[in-house]
Structure 1
Amino acid sequence: MNSRKGFVLIFSLLVTLILSLMLTSFYVQNINESNLAKRFVDSTRAFWLAEAGAAQAYVNFGAASGSLGGTNNTFVAVVTPISGDYYTITSTGKVSRPDGTEITRQIITTIKAGVTDATKFKYGVETTTELEIKGSADINPSGSSKEYSTLDFPDLFGVTKAQMQAGATHAYTPATFGAPVDGITWVDVPSGTLNITSNLTGSGVLIINGNVKFAGTVVFDGIIYVIGTLTMTGNVTASGSVLAESSTTVDTTITGNVTINYDPSKIDTALNNVASLSKQLVSWKSN
């Protein structure tokens, strides 16, 4: 009788042990599955962050960084030239977890920038109408000007006017025009004349869609393209190229203390801003 009771006790202990082991196994498995699920969610979130960084760098054609949904969810993207017109965008998304660990995902894309050609800008000043140079105005080098030219905007820049306007870094009207003037600056002048009478320092590509009169102190490096009447009478120093696509009945006038220096290097630098407007995605991969 005692031996039977002892057997039952031992059997009960074995059953209890087995059940405990099973429950422990189920618990550990449940914890592992929960951790795996959380890790999968964080990995997916990191991937989305990397995508956001790549998209921002692609649109702006430059480095990007930021956060989405809190400071623990961040992205960093860099643009690196490869060769010629090809670049890579490397974007890393990172999720910082409560336990101190980090989950990262990376996206690497290859893009081809649009083709621009600085040699198409051949003069310091080029206009579709008669060019009047008066007073102490100076165009360097001598003979670096052309009047009655045919200006083809898409051929010069590699993009249409609509594409240039849509991709402009800054968009102004006469009422809002002012600093900064860099990258691509587009100014719409629907009527009248934009009178620039104050100090202005800028660079890149400045497109003025309308009539303009430079009467202040202006220092500009890059390309000034006027779709209308151009008059320069102030203290203007422009290095690069100035072009005026004017009505055939209106002259382009440059007078006063104006110096225009034809500078291919400044033109080439300015066109780097335009190349990104017609870029193409070549390849894409994720890690």
Structure 2
Amino acid sequence: MQAPPRVLTVAGSDSGGGAGIQADLKTMLALGTHGMSVITAVTAQNSLGVQGTWELPSQAVAAQFRSVVDDIGVQAVKTGMLATAEVVETVAGLLATVGAPVVVDPVGVSSHGDPLLAADAVDVVRHRLLPSATLATPNLAEVAQLTGVLVRGEEDLPRAAAAVLALGPRWVLIKGGHLPGDAVDLLTDGSAEHWLRAPRHGNRHTHGTGCTLAAAIAARLAFGDPVPSAVTAAKEYVTGAIAAGFPLGAGIGPVDHAHLTRRETAGGTGT
């Protein structure tokens, strides 16, 4: 038997299972790839927020990365929560040794508003991590943190994209999900623009959306999809996951990473 495409996530652990490493691995499995992980931090986290964070030393991050890449190999890499300047610097150096596509989700703040990136690490993300990215996927708060550009409406998305592209990624996907109206994102490499729209679902259970989207893009890139096709397919998957998001705990529940399987199962049983 042949192994499926291999995708590596470099991110923090979410003990509640809705975001981070856990969301990435669920997404990769749902989309037919073999997910592998480099854990950068451990969080005590649930539906109400992040109660504690413990960063791993950069040596542990590098050892995990080399262990996977040198033996198993990767066909795409996705980064998420990197937490500290030292870990960001380490990961940027490691990514330079990999010939696979890299999706950088420049995680700065959790969906509950908890900080996940040290203040002194932001500049390292700008000048060391983003230049290694095949695709960067910032949300509007991360665009402001990285570039100072404030997006107040859809008309501001091209200016935001240009500011992020100036930091070095080959492509950028500006996620406009927090704007009113349809969920609209802009994907561009500085020449072609791809506008992606999806209906907004009235579901508050959206924890892990950004992690899931970046992981889904990485999974499609591992199959060899060009960037626009990978992003389009990932957006469709995430839109379905948001629609199927479910309550968990007393706060914001997760998107449903298994919605495709549940739909197939329901169809197969006639329910």
**TM-score category by the smaller chain?**
under 0.3
Q: Which has the larger radius of gyration?
A: 1
Which structure has the highest helix share of the two?
Answer: 2
Q: Please, what TM-score do these two structures have when normalized by structure 1?
A: 0.24
